[in-house]
């Protein structure tokens, strides 16, 4: 029986506690907790206390993520799927968790050391960066992508502004918020295909935030410029504008193809633009005035 159920981007995630310690979640997940019921989860997360000594030894790494030369996680193949060594962002090279994902991508087993929370030892299974890893592999299993971008909803119509760090994602979110739009998230979004529609969802961050979503209408590949320029692109240009900003683990050609195929189908239904912008309200007015003239 699950102890906690989360719904993130309409994915149902059950946390099953197989320890004597209570579970705890980081603040950003609190609004994504829902009541327990008899419906099936999209993925089950089994939580166990302490990391068994044999699992601390890392085998042949097939993929690793690093930040400024410090490991975030390493992945190896295991007998039943994938094994993850997840390291602490605050204490570089300190093994924080070991997680195993079965071949069908239906069940995670997360081994984690107890931590003192509010005066009591608890298990934090989604301690960063573990939570985003679980979310990412849901996009691998289902029709979905995870993308770096700021997402907004303007009169119920979703827009994503995507680009690498420093290109202006947070600035665009601020400008649209000031213009009266609703901000979904300014860093990490999940886009899902539901029927023939593409829906943009926010994901839990390090701060408390409510679940939000919007039907996706347009994606903008952005960069700072001396003047505001808006150019609609399609086909290979649109694919090239969107795909570099997907969150991807590049060890599997099958996974890469899965996400590229998703984007290839999505850009047949969602408008894609290249946008150069100055950080003021003129860019919001330009998009509102010209977006559908080019569509």
Give pLDDT tens digits for 38-96.
889 999 999 999 999 999 998 999 999 998 888 999 999 998 999 999 999 888 889 99
> What is the overall mean pLDDT for the chain?
94
Q: Are residues 88 and 155 in the same domain?
A: no
Which residues share a beta bridge with 45?
Answer: 15, 108
Query: Confidence band (pLDDT; 50, 70, 90) for 250?
Result: confident
Q: Are residues 167 and 261 in the same domain?
A: yes
Give the pLDDT confidence of 176-208 residue by residue, as tens digits. Answer: 999 999 999 988 999 999 998 999 999 999 888
Query: Minimum mean pLDDT among 63-67, 117-121, 287-291: which range?
Result: 287-291
Q: Are residues 206 and 80 in the same domain?
A: no
Instruction: Respond yes or no on whether the N-terminal peptide bond of residue 129 is cis (omega within 30° of 0).
Output: yes
Cβ atoms < 10 Å from Cβ of 183: 18
Q: Which of 92, 121, 141 is the last residue of a domain?
A: 141
d(CA 285, CA 112): 49
Q: Are residues 287 and 243 in the same domain?
A: yes
Q: In terms of DSSP H, where are the helices of the chain?
A: 130-141, 169-178, 235-242, 253-266, 281-294
d(CA 152, CA 184): 5
Query: Confidence band (pLDDT; 50, 70, 90) for 295?
Result: low
3-state secondary structure of 140: helix
> What is the percent of the chain where pLDDT is above 90?
87
Q: Are residues 232 and 191 in the same domain?
A: yes
d(CA 86, CA 66): 11
In Å, how far are 57, 181, 199, 263 from 54, measured between CA atoms? 6, 51, 42, 40
Q: Are residues 197 and 126 in the same domain?
A: no
């Amino acid at each position: 029986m699950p102890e906690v159920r989360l719904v993130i981007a309409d994915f149902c995630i059950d946390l099953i506690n197989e320890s004597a310690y209570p579970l705890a979640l980081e603040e950003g997940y609190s609004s994504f907790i829902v009541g327990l019921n008899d419906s099936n989860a999209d993925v089950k997360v089994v939580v166990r206390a302490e990391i068994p000594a044999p699992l601390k030894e890392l085998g042949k790494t097939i993929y690793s993520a690093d930040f400024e030369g410090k490991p975030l996680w390493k992945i190896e193949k295991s007998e039943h799927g994938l094994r993850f060594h997840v390291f602490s962002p605050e204490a570089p090279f300190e093994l924080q968790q070991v997680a195993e994902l079965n071949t069908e991508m239906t069940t995670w087993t997360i081994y984690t050391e107890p931590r003192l929370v509010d005066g009591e030892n608890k298990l934090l299974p989604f301690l960063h960066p573990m939570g985003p890893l679980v979310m990412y592999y849901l996009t691998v299993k289902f029709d979905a992508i995870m993308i770096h971008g700021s997402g907004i909803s303007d009169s119920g119509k979703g827009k994503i502004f995507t680009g690498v760090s420093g290109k202006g994602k947070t600035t665009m979110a601020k400008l649209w918020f000031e213009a009266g739009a609703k901000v979904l998230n300014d860093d990490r979004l999940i886009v899902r295909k539901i029927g023939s529609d593409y829906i943009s969802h926010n994901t839990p961050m390090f701060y408390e935030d409510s679940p939000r979503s919007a039907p996706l209408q347009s994606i903008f590949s952005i960069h700072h410029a001396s003047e505001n320029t808006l150019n609609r692109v399609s086909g290979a240009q649109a694919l090239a504008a969107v795909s570099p900003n997907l969150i991807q683990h590049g060890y599997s050609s099958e996974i890469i193809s899965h996400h590229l195929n998703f984007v290839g189908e999505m850009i047949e239904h969602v408008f894609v633009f290249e946008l150069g912008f100055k950080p003021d309200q003129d860019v919001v007015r330009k998009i509102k005035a010209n977006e559908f003239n080019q569509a």
